[in-house]
Amino acid sequence: MARENIYQEEEFPSPLLQLWYNFKEKPFIMLAFSCSLALVFLAIFAPIITPFSSSQSHLDHILLPPAWNNDGNVSFLLGTDQLGRDMLSMLMHGASFTFGLSFIIVITSAIIGVVIGSLSALTSGFKSSFLNHFLDVILSIPSLLLAIVIVAILGTGLSNTVLAIIIVLIPQFIHTTRNEVKKEFSKDYVLASKLDGASPLRLLRYSIFPNILEKIITQATLAQSAAILDIAALGFLGLGAPTYIPEWGTMVANGIDLFYIAPWTVYFPGFAILFAVIATNLVGEGLRHALKLRKEH
Amino acid sequence: MLIFTLRRLNLFIFTFIVLTALSFSLSYLFPGDTLINLTGQVNASPKQRLFLIEEYQYNSNVFKQYWAYLGHLADGDLGISISSHTPISYEIMNLLPATIELSVVALFIAMIIGIPIGFIAAINHEKLTDKAILSISMLGYSIPIFWLGLLAILVFSIQLGWLPSAGRISLVYEIEHITGIQFIDILISDNPYKWQAFQDATLHIIMPACVVAIAPMTIFIRLARTSMIEVLDSSYITAAKTKGLTFWQIIYRHAIRNSLVNVIRHVGLQFANLVTLAMVTEVIFSWPGIGRWLIESIFQRDYTAIQGGLLALSSFIFIVHMLTDFIYAALNPLARDRKHGA
């Protein structure tokens, strides 16, 4: 009998590993994945690697255009703003605010949402129906409006924005987790371990979570791009980060007055937001595609 | 259909209770005096204050207070604005139509352009056209809307000078406020220059509406694409093929209708998203809508306004949500029998 495999060893990848194999097949998605890894790197190490501090103003280089312009200066690669702060350094610092905080937001709200969602999936009857309707109502309020109301309660500022967006994102996670857990609960393999005498919490931990983890991760990538856009939008509206923090949305708002004479102060932060959101969305897209492929196997 | 209606009505009552309870509890959550937050009467004399305490049952328990609040809501009394001292309900009546106008126009733009593009992508599934459309739509929902709005102003108002950058209509035209929807007001007014005014209003709405429409449009592209692919995969399309219908006959007679039904179902869900985008856009384009007013109210610490605005805007969104649910159920008999929200 001909052996098609040279190696005797056969590999049975775990579900998560299989997901990774499917995920890394598309070069484009891998590019986006490495971009978001680079952003994570920037978010952590920005204070060490930036050429200047984000608050240091160079008073003799105010509103310097980017380096490729005739009036540009190569030590300020992307130009400076109206206070003579280096755009490149500000953008790099901004990664830790806009992109880095979105990670913290998503992880926190995912943990809270998953815990509440899975516990609520175990309940039934009136309590369950009440929660479902309540979530429907909350989800029908626009996320930004809810965030604005929460900011109005807590006061403006970056930490309050973060808290507001965490609260806004929780219902989505509850909803997804709840639906997925309910779906898994009706499957036969769960019934099998139930017959073995497993308690509901044990069922959740050993039978259900490994199978719904990817769904939650996919939801998390969606939530992350929403979080980035929301942080930036609140920053832009002046409800989020104060003007001295180089958050990308705030930077766009700072540049508006000078839009016509110094368009780069608006272009670059906008591009940075766009770049971060596209990278996140592509990673999410890749994950969903890989999930679909694995299901078809 | 009757059971469906009853079930929806049930949900409607529940939602109304949750929304009003949320809005009522905000007066406790906001910083400052609860009664002032609720009524907006900052400079009330002690006598007036006693009257208000009586009116809002301020000294009784929370449930009685909530009941009194509901009574005031039923009279259309949302208190007065802390900053401008005008009644909130009057301000909302003035501002909400502008937001409705902007979002409805944007919704139409998004649907009219997005759905056919989605169908084209689905018909060319897995081909270059499909992939190109998908990549462009990815760009569309990743772009931060305030940035897009600024770029649009820079290009179309400042550099090209084609479209005005702010407001609903040029101040030259005096249009009486009747319905609040500008286009209807212009048409029913007896202004001799009403066609010029109409043109001017159209020019003003094009840019903000297009900016708002971009992100929902890309979502409609995806929705239309997925639902069309699903429909083309179904057995009744195979049956139509075996009957000998040509490809375009199948598309026109069977596929488009059935996939449109699925898209309509999601319009309600998209509407909340669309209103969020409209709120930000209103700030950039100085559109006199409720979103801009709400954001200004935060800076002025006008808590009564925020409370009323939240209630008005979310009930409006919920009503649209319900309407699309009904339209969907009327169009699709399958949806009526399914359990909703259970």
**Separation in Å, CA A295 to CA A22, B132, B159:** 11, 26, 51
Residues of A in contact with B298 (CB under 8 A): 148, 151-152, 156, 239
ipTM rounded to 2 decimals: 0.83
Residue B122 has pLDDT above 70, yes or no: yes
> What pLDDT score was predicted for residue B342?
41
Q: pLDDT confidence of B339, banded at 50, 70, 90?
A: low
Residues of B in contact with A145 (CB under 8 A): 275-276, 279, 294, 310, 313-314
Distance CA(B199)–CA(B170), nearest Å, equals 10
Contact (CB<8Å) A140/B318: yes
Q: What is the pLDDT of residues A118-143, one digit of tens each?
A: 888 887 777 777 777 777 777 777 77
Residue B338 has pLDDT above 60, yes or no: no
CB contact under 8 A, B146 and A252: yes
Dihedral sign (CA A29, A32, A37, A40): negative
A199 half-sphere exposure, CB direction, 13 A CA radius: 2
d(CA B98, CA B104): 10
Could you tell me the maximum CA-CA distance found in chain A, to the nearest angstrom? 80
Confidence of residue B341 (pLDDT cuts 50, 70, 90): very low
What is the three-class DSSP state of B175?
Answer: coil
What rounded mean pLDDT belongs to chain B? Answer: 83
**Tokens at A270, concatenated:** 């906008």
Q: Is the CB of residue B15 less than 8 Å away from at least one CB of chain A?
A: yes
B14 in contact with chain A, both atoms CB, cutoff 8 A = yes
Residue B219 CA to residue B120 CA, distance in Å, equals 15
Place of tokens 């626009």: A142
- State whether residue A135 sits within 8 Å of chain B by CB: no
Among B19, B29, B317, beta carbon nearest to A142: B317
A136 contacts in chain B (CB < 8 Å): 11, 15, 341
Nearest CA in chain B to A139: B272
Contact partners, residue A174, CB within 8 Å, separation at least 6: A113, A116, A117, A120, A135
When comparing pLDDT for B179 and A230, which is higher?
A: A230
Residue A132: in which H helix or E strand, if any?
helix A126-140
- CA B310, CA B188: separation in Å to the nearest integer? 31
How many angstroms separate the CA atoms of A63 and B89, rounded?
Answer: 46
CA distance A104 to chain B (A): 20
Question: What are the chain B neighbours of A152 within 8 Å (beta carbons)?
Answer: 30, 297-298, 303, 306
Q: Is residue B175's pLDDT more than 80?
A: no
Distance CA A117, CA A170 (A): 9
To the nearest 10°, the Cα dihedral for B149, B152, B158, B163? -100
Which of A141, A146, A278 to mutate against chain B (most B CBs within 10 Å)? A141
Q: Helices (DSSP H) in chain B: which residue ranges?
A: 2-29, 34-39, 46-55, 62-74, 88-123, 128-142, 145-152, 182-188, 194-232, 235-242, 247-250, 256-284, 290-299, 303-331, 333-337
- Per-residue pLDDT reduced to its tens digit, B296-324: 888 888 888 888 888 888 888 888 888 88
pLDDT (tens digit, 9 = 90+) per residue, B261-284? Answer: 888 888 877 888 888 889 889 988
DSSP B76-140: T---B-TTT-SBHHHHHHHHHHHHHHHHHHHHHHHHHHHHHHHHHHHHTTTSHHHHHHHHHHHHH
Torsions phi, psi of B41, nearest 5? -80, 90
pLDDT at A1 over 80: no
Q: Which residues of A touch B294 (CB under 8 A)?
A: 145, 148
- Are A271 and A257 in contact, with CB atoms under 8 Å apart? no
Q: Give the residue from B262, B283, B269, B266 showing the smallest Cα distance to B332.
A: B262
> What pLDDT is recorded for position A109?
94
Query: Residue B86 corresponds to which tokens in the numbers above?
Result: 């005008």
